[in-house]
Amino acid sequence: MKINLKLLGTFLAVADHASFRKAAEQSHLSLPAVSMQIKQLEERLGVALFHRTTRRVELTREGEQLMISTRKAMAEIDGALAQLQKAVQVQQGELAFACVPSVASSRLPALLVDFARKYPGISVRVRELPLPELLEAVRRREVDFGIGPQTDKKGELDFSPIFVDEYVALVLPDNPAASKPTITLRELSRLPLLTLSGASQFHHQLLEVLKAQGLSPELNYEFTHVSTQVAMAEAGLGVGILPGVAVPPRTPLKTLRIVRPAMSRTIAVITIRGHSLSPSATRFVEMCDALIPPR
């Protein structure tokens, strides 16, 4: 049974005014057009909806039932359209995304504060995940998108680069190496090194570069959290190696850029290829330039 909203809207107008003429005026239709639409509706339903007399128009029992149901349906539709409009205007809604811990702890706070100020009606859920779990969360659509390092194996995922994050070495100010702004990987290999957990992409990349350079440094200490590694470097246990964005702003350690070869990763917004982001997710991604570290 094909009954569109136009016919139901005209039906409600006649029911509200108990008049075909007034319904026509309200709907900006001609009186014959209103009569034709009500006739079409009654024919499709197979029942009379109005008692018509020369003086008044009254709903039949079936018409009253249809009016109650139609009002409920229209209210539901109006509510859904209002909610959709608010989502499009980013007035309310939900946003869920995943971010690798090194970026989440260093660059994300200021961006989230700015986003909350501009879009206070959006509920935000952030998941801090290592890269393998982050990619899986994006694939399973558990989150709208991810923020993390770009990988070579892209598969069904799209990576939109935000910034290049150079790896750095953290040394105590009294370390002889601290006299220069850079340090070579060969020079680093002669020092006791502190690295992040072997499960991280950073660790695998470091091992590959060391192997390619024919270097075999002491890697006796691995830590899961950046804050722990920094604390150990500050205590003098060794030289920390970190992505530049993860270096805490108030550490007494000297930051040295690693050269020959330079090491880096590209931080990107990670999405499923061919899937559109929600309005709130789109606005957040547009603001992700704020993640770029200051120079």
pLDDT digits (tens, 9 = 90+) for 261-278: 988 999 999 999 988 888
Q: For residue 292, what is the DSSP state?
A: S
Which residue type, as a one-letter code, is found at position 56?
A: R
Q: For residue 247, what is the DSSP state?
A: S
* Alpha carbons 167 and 177: distance in angstroms, whole number: 16
Encode pLDDT of 21-35 as tens digits.
Answer: 888 888 888 989 989
Closest CA to 110 of 249, 244, 251, 228: 249
The pLDDT assigned to 82 comes to 67
DSSP labels, 3-55: --HHHHHHHHHHHHHT-HHHHHHHHT--HHHHHHHHHHHHHHHTS--EEE-SS
What are the residue ranges of helices labelled H in the chain? 5-17, 20-27, 31-45, 61-88, 101-106, 108-118, 131-139, 185-189, 201-212, 226-235, 279-286
Going from the N-terminus, what domains does the chain have, and what CATH number goes with each?
5-88 (1.10.10.10), 93-162+271-291 (3.40.190.10), 164-265 (3.40.190.10)
* Alpha carbons 221 and 172: distance in angstroms, whole number: 17
pLDDT tens per residue across all 295 residues of the chain: 577 888 888 988 988 888 888 888 888 889 899 899 989 888 888 899 898 877 788 889 898 899 999 889 888 887 777 676 765 555 568 899 999 988 998 889 999 999 999 888 888 999 999 899 999 999 999 999 999 999 887 789 999 999 999 999 999 999 999 999 999 999 999 999 998 876 567 788 888 898 899 988 888 888 988 889 999 999 999 999 999 998 988 899 999 999 989 889 999 999 999 888 888 888 899 889 888 877 6
- Write down the pTM of the prediction: 0.70
Quick check: 280 and 122 in contact, CB under 8 A? yes
* Alpha carbons 123 and 129: distance in angstroms, whole number: 19
